[in-house]
Amino acid sequence: MKRVYFDNNATTPVAPEVIEAILPYLREKYGNPSSIHTFGAEAGAAVEKARAQVAALLGAHPDEIIFTSGGTESDSTAILSALESYPAKRHVVTTRVEHPAVRSLCAHLRSRGYRVTEVPVDRQGLLDMDALRAALTGDTAICTVMYANNETGVIFPVEKIAELCRERGILFHTDAVQAVGKVPLNLAKSAIDMLSLSGHKLHAPKGIGALYVRRGVRFAPYLRGGHQERGRRAGTENVPGIVGLGVACDLAAGAMSEEQTRVRAMRDRLETELLRRALDAHLNGHPTQRLPNTTNISFEYVEGEAILLRLDHVGIAASSGSACTSGSLEPSHVLRAMGVPFTMAHGSVRFSLSRFNTMAEVDYVIEHVPPIIAGLRAMSPVGRERLKSVAS
C-alpha cells in the first residue's frame, strides 16, 4: 500500500546523510568526550563540530549552544533558569497557544505560587500585542512566546517581542522548535535571549535538542552533575544524536530557501484543493503569517479522529487538533484559544509536510480526502441535514 507521511510537525524522518554521519559514533567512535584518550578526543571533536554547525544555522556563537535531550528539556531549562536567576521576580508571561512543554510547566509554576499571564490570540491565531505589552511588568522574570505554532503554523513576531522585553529588562525565550530549519534566523541581530530547538523536528533523531543562551545572560543549570557543556547541562553527551543534529542543521542551512519554496508550493496546492473540493471546509490560522509546511483545516460536522482513521486506512498520516484523552474528545487548546466553534474544532485535521514529500503525494491526498469527508457526513444526522440543505 502507498504510504504518505504528512505529519512532520509531530516528528520528521531522519535524513539519510544524518544516519550515515551517526553510524560511526555508534560503531567504532564510541568514546566518552570527557575521557583524555584518543577515543574521547575523537568524540569530543565531533561534539564541537556539531556545536559550530548548530550555531551557524542560528547565527550564534558556538559557546551559546547547549545540547539537551530535546525541545521539552530546552523549554524547561530556559524558563526555570530565568526564575532561579531572578528570584525576586515572580511573574511569567506566555501565550494561550504554547506547546504543552511550556504550557504544562507554566501551569505547574502557577500552582507553586508564581503569577502567570497567558496572552490571548485572535480568530486567525495572531497574538494580541496590546495585551502582551500590558502584561510585561517590573515583576516579570521571563516572557516565553513560541516562534511558530505547531498546530496551525502561525508565526509570532518574536523579534519585536524580544525588543519590547529588552527595553524593559525582561528575559525573552522562544520555543522555536517548529521554526528552526523552516525560517531563516540570525540571532546575532536579534534581541532573543534564549531559544529552544529539537532534533526530531528537523530530520535528526529523537532525544536530542539544543538551547541557545545569549552570551551574558544569567543562567542556572537544570541538570547538575558532571562538568559537561561547561557546567550548564550535566550528563554524558548524546554523541550520536549531537552529530546527527549538527548534520541536520547543516543540511537545513544549505537548501532552506529553495526547499521551503518547494514545500510551500505543495502545501498551497493541497490547501487550495481541499478547501475547494470539500464542502464546509475552513482554514484555521492566518493565511500568510504562517510556516510554509503546515495547513490546519476544519471539516465541519465530522470528527477529526474519524477522518484520521480513514486516512490511515489509505496510508495517509496526518494529525487532528483534538486529543482523545480518557475517552472524552477535547478540542485542541490552540483552536479553542482562537475561538474556533466547537463543531469546527472537532473536525480539524493538520497536514504538515517536509522536503521529503512530493507533489504526487499531494495529489494522492487531494484525491482521497473529499470522499472520506463526504462519507463521514453521510453517516452523521447533522451532516446529512447539511448535505440535504445544500442539494435543495
Ligand X SMILES: *Cc1c(COP(=O)(O)O)cnc(C)c1O
182 binds ligand X (CB under 6 A): no
Contact 302, 321 (CB under 8 A): no
Selected from 72, 140, 144, 174, the binder of ligand X by CB under 6 A is 72
What gap in Å lies between CA 187 and CA 28, rounded to an integer? 36
Scored b (16 or more CB within 10 A) or e, 137-152 reads eeebbbbbbbbbbbbb
Contact 117, 133 (CB under 8 A): no
Would you list the DSSP string of 247-286?
HHHHHHHHHHHHHHHHHHHHHHHHHHHHHHHSTTEEEES-
What gap in Å lies between CA 310 and CA 67, rounded to an integer? 39
Task: Tell which positions 20-49 bind ligand X, by CB under 6 A.
Answer: none
146 binds ligand X (CB under 6 A): yes
**Part of the chain binding ligand X (CB under 6 A), chosen from 68-76, 155-163, 223-231, 359-367:** 68-76
Q: How far is the CB of 319 from ligand X (least distance, A)?
A: 11
Q: How far is the CB of 150 from ligand X (least distance, A)?
A: 4
354 binds ligand X (CB under 6 A): no
Judged by CB, which is closer to ligand X: 31, or 295? 295
Q: How far is the CB of 251 from ligand X (least distance, A)?
A: 18
One character per residue 186-205, x = contact with ligand X (rule: CB under 6 A): ------------x-xx----
List all residues 6 or more positions away from 326 whose beta carbon is below 8 Å from its beta carbon: none
Q: How far is the CB of 199 from ligand X (least distance, A)?
A: 7
What gap in Å lies between CA 335 and CA 340, rounded to an integer? 5
319 binds ligand X (CB under 6 A): no
Task: Tell which positions 94-133 bind ligand X, by CB under 6 A.
Answer: 99, 101
Selected from 77, 95, 144, 150, the binder of ligand X by CB under 6 A is 150
Q: For residue 171, give the H/E element and its range.
A: strand 171-175
Is 324 assigned a catalytic role? yes
Selected from 33, 209, 240, 331, the binder of ligand X by CB under 6 A is 209
Judged by CB, which is closer to ligand X: 207, or 370? 207
Task: Find the residue with minimal CB distance to ligand X.
Answer: 71
Work out the burial of residue 38: count CB atoms within 10 Å of its CB; fewer than 13 is exposed, 13-18 middle, 19 or more buried. Answer: exposed
Residue type, 189: K
Q: How far is the CB of 213 from ligand X (least distance, A)?
A: 17
Q: How far is the CB of 38 from ligand X (least distance, A)?
A: 32
β-strands 91-95, 4-5 pairing: unpaired
What gap in Å lies between CA 273 and CA 260, rounded to an integer? 20
- Residues near ligand X (CB under 6 A) are 70-72, 99, 101, 146, 150, 175, 177-178, 198, 200-201, 209
Q: Which residues are catalytic?
A: 324
